[in-house]
Chains A and B, each alone.
Chain A
Amino acid sequence: MKRREWVWGWALILPALTFIFLFTHFPAVMTVINSFWSTPRGRRPARFVGLENYERLINDPTFWKVLTNNLWYALGTIPLSIGLALLMAVFVNRPFRGRALARMSFFTPTVLPLIAVANIWLFFYTPGFGLIDQILGVFGVGATNLLGQGGTALPAIMAVAIWKEAGFFMIFYLAALQAIPPQLSEAARIEGAGRWTIFRRITFPLLMPTTLFVSINAVINAFRLVDHIFILTGGGPDNASSLLLFYIYETSFRYWDTSFGATLTVVLLGLLCLLAIGQFFLFDRKVHYK
């Protein structure tokens, strides 16, 4: 009898397991394996090369360039978009006229398709007659090429990302804010706490689980960005705005160097795992779960 139950259990989860193995675990394992083999080309089959691909990676200046870019990108976008999201959520959580409109307009960037978003910003950034240059033109500043210059290409992409992510994260903060009973801030007010004290000592600590969730998502998103780059800069100029995943895409599918692509992917996966685990440990003591 015991044995039969055991079989039933496995039989029931088998379909789900199959798909997980087929589409998640199998490709992940294959990626790791591929990274130890050379890329098969024409009549030359793949051969085992050991750590050769990793050696190449360490000596690849472009890898280091996109990794640094990615770190700057993460550092620049994550805190800003989370901070902005929190600010917007607190703002639209209070009753005022046109609150629904404000909520909707904050959230709009998120529902727009990525390609549309990138196109809108492409128009903003167009040298000469883009929105930004038209505004700057009023103050007598000449044409700029924000996307085309090494120094400004990455920040220009970061601005788009912040604009898009903040609205998305705001929804999580808004939901969390509405789950906090209003009596808590009323009790704090009676105890003599002003707005800022209530936020610092009550609201913000109670939002910690959301902050953890949002920041893990933000980190993953920061290392997952390709689509904006495609449309806005194509990674240029001179890889100034290329990020890790974009580089992986280019290596694997443009230059068809799949095993080096696999090597880069393994590094990216490792990095993401480390960051996620690190965040859990960092936050764990500060997060109050209900």
Chain B
Amino acid sequence: MKSDASRQGREIRIEGIEKCWGETTALSGVDITVPAGSFTALLGPSGCGKSTLLRIVAGLEAPSSGRVRIGGEDMTQRPADKRNLSMVFQSYALFPHLSVADNITFGLRTRRVAKAARQARLERVAALLGLGPYLERKPSELSGGQQQRVALGRAVISERPVCLMDEPLSNLDAKLRHAMRTELRALQRSLGFTMLYVTHDQVEAITMADQVVLINEGRVEQAAPPHALYETPATSFAARFIGTPPMNILPATALGEIGARAEAEAGCALHFGIRPEALRPDPMGMLKMHVTGGEYHGADALVMGRIGGTEALVRVPGKTLPSGGAPMSLAVAPQDIHLFNAATGQRLDRPISAAQALASNDMAQATTVPDLNQI
């Protein structure tokens, strides 16, 4: 289906978008560049403005200020039907009175594509999505997963350079969602369109996207490839949002003398971020944790406890679950220590040598390779 040059995706540039409804501000100063042909996920907690941003790109909502460019053209004033993009809604928005075939070819009909061409394209899309046997059915006679494919079919048959999706998988069960993730990603790769994909599920964003844009309270926290988001979170919000269980954020005061020296060197109050999977029990370790409990997960276990009065989690192999009440020494590799400005939440980019003292010398060589499947 990658037939001609027009099939190639187009770049989306979102420049200084603000959106207010009376008193409430849904988005403020959002700048995002979605490279042509890439898969970009908009990720964030509920109510952070993801859907609003997507609807602004689609032209279903007008921004209070800022512009939207698609393929270099300013689309801010252009109505939705002239933006040359397709969209999959969270609720699928299938037309209940039309058959699957008519639903998929709806856009081709409104654009007066000849019947023979319409039929040929319908057959290709139906084969691609495995919808062949259902073409004559009404949407209400399909399962949720099948309905979702129809919505996808309607979006891809028009072969637009940009496709927007708003939590398309959220209505599916875990197994189907997993299968659809792989399929969607493969579909996007083979058709080559630019994908802007809204989700509040970090697993979806991290496994599918080339670029993840993390949004919080209407602002972009970080826009980065998935591994960068995990390895170098730009803010303490990003650090805690990505990864399950979330990263431990320890105030410098919880770390005693090392913390105080690091703060003196940095010149500001600090938060130390260490992922539970980066901590490992080691009798020589510099971090002392007071164990309060444990959770056995099979392959591994989570140990809950306090480091200097702050709650912390450690991921350990399943067999080594320590008993509660015991003290535990933990070691961490220097590259696994993240420092954030406590006041702004921003990551500290320059290295603070005092903080490195947390990592014992023998750990300096060991590297924690994040296993993305475990996030």
Flag whether A171 is at the interface (Cβ < 8 A): no
Of A186, A193, A194, A201, which is within 8 A of B93 by CB? A186
Residue of chain A at shortest CB distance from B106:
A191
Give complex CA distance A183, B93 in Å. Answer: 6
Select B80's contact among A186, A202, A205, A208, beta carbons within 8 Å: A186
Q: A183 — which chain B residues lie within 8 A by C-beta?
A: 89, 91, 93
Q: How far, in angstroms, from A268 to B85 measured CA to CA in the complex?
A: 57
- Chain A: residues with Cβ within 8 Å of the partner, total of 20
Q: Are A187 and B89 in contact (CB under 8 A)?
A: yes
Bound-complex Cα distance A192 to B84 (A): 8
Per-residue CB contact flags for chain B residues 158-169 toward chain A (1 = under 8 Å, else 0) read 100000000000
Does any Cβ of A come within 8 Å of B357's Cβ?
Answer: no
Bound-state Cα–Cα, A290 to B138, Å: 10
User: In the assembled complex, which residues on chain B have CB atoms less than 8 Å from the CB atom of A288?
Assistant: 96-97, 138
Which has the most chain B C-beta neighbours within 10 Å: A192, A194, A205, A290? A192
Complex Cα–Cα for A288 and B139 (A): 12
B86 touches A190 (CB 8 A): yes
Within 8 A of B (CB), among A261-290: 288, 290
Least CB distance from B103 to A in Å reads 9
List the A side residues contacting B60 at CB < 8 Å. Answer: 186, 189-190
* B58 interface residue per 8 A CB criterion: yes
Closest to B85 in A: A190
Q: Residue B96 contacts which of A186, A194, A290 (CB distance < 8 angstroms)? A: A290
Chain B residues near A290 (CB-CB < 8 A): 96, 140
Does residue B111 face the partner (Cβ distance < 8 Å to A)?
Answer: yes
Q: Mark B35-73, 1 if CB is under 8 A from A, else 0.
A: 000000000000000000000001010000000000000
CB distance from A124 to the nearest CB of B (A): 42
> Is A206 at the interface (CB under 8 A from chain B)?
yes
B95 at the interface (CB under 8 A from A): yes
List A residues 179-212 near B (Cβ within 8 Å). Answer: 181, 183-184, 186-194, 197, 201-202, 205-206, 208
Within 8 Å of chain A (Cβ to Cβ): is B338? no
Given A187-B89, A197-B110, output 18 extra A-B contacts at Cβ < 8 Å.
Answer: A181-B91, A181-B93, A183-B91, A184-B93, A186-B60, A187-B87, A187-B95, A187-B154, A188-B95, A188-B106, A190-B83, A191-B86, A191-B106, A193-B81, A193-B106, A201-B95, A202-B95, A205-B97
Q: Which residues of A contact B (CB under 8 A)?
A: 181, 183-184, 186-194, 197, 201-202, 205-206, 208, 288, 290
Write 12 A-B pairs (CB below 8 A) sorted by A numbering.
A183-B93, A186-B60, A186-B89, A187-B93, A189-B79, A190-B58, A190-B81, A192-B81, A192-B82, A194-B81, A201-B106, A208-B97
The 3 A-B residue pairs whose C-beta atoms are closest, nearest first, are A191-B107, A288-B97, A183-B93
